Chain A
């Protein structure tokens, strides 16, 4: 009881103070970012923060961006998101799948703020979702990998067996086998997004098992560094990582949130913001392919660019049939293609991937 009284008094004082503050600072809108990792991860969060800086640059004094990094999925995220909303942030970007339910919950309590949740599927009036079709980029890379491998074994360092990662593995495998039917893809899961040592060890194990191309869906440049030192090929993740592997990096798949973030903040400032779902790919430049390594033969580059162009103009769909599942059964018939719903929840391997995925109920 006593606590409640004190808290009530404090609450009243804050409301009063808050009104004063909001009256003074209305010229500048606050834009918030909630990150799951540290900015210094040089991977996923690092790229989102570059997007934040792009917003600062584009709008100058009109906005003030704030962020909280290393917010663990779980009980903490709701508090951080709510704090930002209560603090009067106009737009709040929550950049990890696990923030989905807290984002929606807080959004319902703060109808005046606009929320942007990355990689989820729940939307309400003031919650948009956005994600990138990284699999499109991985499809392009698969073409190169299929041509460049001599051992016909591609190694893939995976983080967690979630649809996003499985989709990337499948897209790569389909593309690689379309140019080289003998390709096999071996996967090693490290059960972390980020542990440079372990990611590197997984790459080494894959190379020792015959892989001469290392792809990765983990954050650090370690697998690429291993590729460099072992004299095999690798592909950068999230950023152009050629600094870490000048010889080995075939190309890199780049997350680019800059344009999306600037557009959405602009829409919020204009009053044209609506709740929508954006799944941007190569055409929107949300996914980019880094410059190709000079060592890739011209005809292989041409193949990759053809795939790149085809995906943008819609003539190529990475998950167009016929597609066989790992056990050889036909999953997608000739003339059909998987729709976004099927892609979103993908939990099966295509033919050519080795190993087994954990099954649902």
Chain B
């Protein structure tokens, strides 16, 4: 009989082998999927994984798409490690765009090198503020952050809608729901001439580096890990659960806020009624797919972004509806998540009647 057995310690080799195995399974099963849909599986996989990054511009777009995912996921991962279930990054991102972008709305005629830094800081403040509300309710009133953070997503989106349909409309824009386009001083510097790759990508990498240092080297990082793994041990050690809740929600909110302001002052260049196609939610997948580790999150963010780009390519070149992208993404994620079992567990054939220990 086949059974699953816990490994004495996580297998290092499997950390790298499981993605390969998942890829193999994806290829095998998508052969079936695409054959059923009447599309050549090789062509389909080529469109999903190779075609989007075949040229330099494609690679730059991949990083543009991954930037907000990584920024949000890095922040979320710290909370998830400490069992703080913030699922409201989408709202925190939106508030970051509102606060950061709002700086430009009111200082649109200011031409200064300090404008963009101020916007980024305000974006972080906006996101952190939106993260602070669940933290306050959780620590003060014991209100579950899953609910409060999620509900605040809808509130933030409606607030954005109110502003863009009302006072923040472009005065020369025929009352259409969009703001002025951002001036040069309010726009993220482009890292790679001719593409949209912007400074936000550097911020994402810095966030990952910072999170790694924080978790590996600092006391607060240690506290996060201990409280997450063994809350009781944490409290015996005198770590404050409340402090960690505040810390993780402010951090996640701040980084999501930076993601939001990076989008409006980067590839979008103005404030629109819809800023994020659900980055805050997708980032939850990215965080876990990256095993809550900063390096893993960068890789997972890029992979996730690739499936979106691939979905677009598959639609253009093969006429596959976007529904197929959803099914395909689901499959890829299932395999990746399922194969993770091999890191901590191993499969053993065991015959009945024989004691193993």
Residue positions of A touching B, CB distance < 8 A: 3-4, 7-8, 10-11, 13-14, 32, 38-39, 66-76, 78-80, 82-84, 86-87, 97-98, 101, 121, 160-163, 191, 341, 344-347, 358-361
Contact = CB atoms under 8 A, between A and B. Distances in A.
Given A10-B55, A359-B166, A360-B169, A84 B175 contact: no
Interface in B44-63: 53-57, 59-61
A69 B338 CA distance: 30
A188 to B, nearest CB: 15
B235 interface: no
A344 B319 CA distance: 35
Max chain A Cβ within 10 angstroms of own Cβ: one of B55, B267, B272: B55
A14 B273 contact: no
Contacts, number: 126
B10 interface: no
Interface string B24-62: 000000000000000000000000000001111101110
B273 A98 contact: yes
A7 B313 contact: no
A345 B175 CA distance: 5
B158 interface: yes
A360 B312 contact: no
7 nearest CB pairs, A to B: A7-B56, A345-B174, A358-B166, A75-B267, A72-B277, A345-B175, A347-B175
A75 B266 contact: yes
B316 interface: yes
Nearest to B311: A68
A189 to B, nearest CB: 10
Interface string B311-340: 011011101011100000000000000000
B277 A68 contact: no
12 contacts: A10-B59, A38-B323, A39-B321, A66-B317, A67-B319, A72-B274, A74-B272, A75-B267, A79-B309, A101-B269, A163-B176, A358-B162
B197 to A, nearest CB: 10
A98 B316 contact: no
Nearest to B313: A83
A123 to B, nearest CB: 14
Contacts of B165: 160-162, 358
A38 B322 contact: yes
B221 interface: no
Given A74-B276, A75-B268, A14 B54 contact: yes
Contact of B56 (A11, A67, A71, A101): A11
B277 A74 contact: yes
A161 B274 CA distance: 15
A78 B267 contact: yes
Contacts of A87: 316-317
B263 interface: yes
Contacts of B270: 101
A358 B163 CA distance: 9
A84 B316 contact: yes
Contact of A191 (B65, B158, B175, B315): B158
A13 to B, nearest CB: 8
A66 B319 contact: yes
Contacts of B158: 191
Contacts of A38: 321-323
Nearest to A87: B316
B210 interface: no
Max chain A Cβ within 10 angstroms of own Cβ: one of B53, B273, B309: B273
Interface of B: 53-57, 59-61, 64-65, 158, 161-162, 165-169, 171, 174-178, 181, 192, 196, 263, 266-270, 272-277, 308-309, 312-313, 315-317, 319, 321-323
Contact of B176 (A71, A74, A162, A191): A162
Contact of B169 (A3, A7, A68, A361): A361
Given A69-B321, A75-B266, A101-B270, A163 B175 contact: yes
A7 B321 contact: no
Given A69-B322, A74-B268, A360 B166 contact: yes
B175 A3 contact: no
B315 A69 contact: yes
Nearest to B158: A191
Contacts of B309: 79
B100 to A, nearest CB: 15
A38 B174 CA distance: 27
A163 B196 CA distance: 31
B64 to A, nearest CB: 7
A280 B266 CA distance: 35
Contacts of A39: 321
Contacts of A121: 174, 176
A10 B56 contact: yes
B175 A68 contact: no
Contact of B161 (A78, A160, A341, A359): A160
A97 B173 CA distance: 12
B55 A14 contact: yes
Contacts of A345: 174-176
A347 B161 CA distance: 16
Contact of B273 (A66, A69, A73): A73
Contacts of A191: 158, 161
Given A39-B321, A83-B316, A7 B178 contact: no
Given A38-B322, A344-B174, A360 B167 contact: yes
A331 B306 CA distance: 53
A340 to B, nearest CB: 10
Given A4-B192, A39-B321, 13 more contacts: A7-B55, A7-B59, A11-B56, A68-B322, A75-B267, A75-B268, A79-B196, A79-B309, A87-B316, A101-B270, A347-B175, A359-B167, A360-B175
A346 B175 contact: yes
A71 to B, nearest CB: 8
B171 A68 contact: no
A32 B315 CA distance: 11
A163 B55 contact: no
A80 to B, nearest CB: 5
